[in-house]
A = this chain, B = another copy of it.
Amino acid sequence: MVCVMPQSGRRPDARRTNSTAPATELRERLLTATRDLLAQRRFDSISVADIIAAAGASRASFYFYFPGKQAVLAELVRRAVGQGQQAAEPWTTGRQDPLYALRSGIEAGAALWMDNAAVLTAIVENWGSDEQLRELWLQQMETFTDLTVARIQADPDVLRRLDGLDVRAVAASLTWLGERLYYLAAANVPPFTDRDVLVDTLMHAWTRTLYGDSPSPSHT
Contacts and interface: CB of A to CB of B under 8 A. Distances in A.
Interface of A: 42-44, 124-126, 128-129, 138, 164-166, 168-170, 172-173, 176-177, 179-181, 184, 189, 191-192, 194, 197-198, 200-202, 204-205, 208-209, 212-213
A172 B200 contact: no
B172 A129 contact: no
A25 B200 CA distance: 51
Contact of A170 (B176, B184, B201): B201
A44 B197 CA distance: 35
B165 A173 contact: no
B200 A204 contact: no
A126 to B, nearest CB: 7
Given A128-B128, A164-B200, 11 more contacts: A165-B201, A168-B191, A169-B191, A169-B192, A173-B180, A173-B205, A176-B180, A176-B181, A204-B209, A208-B209, A209-B209
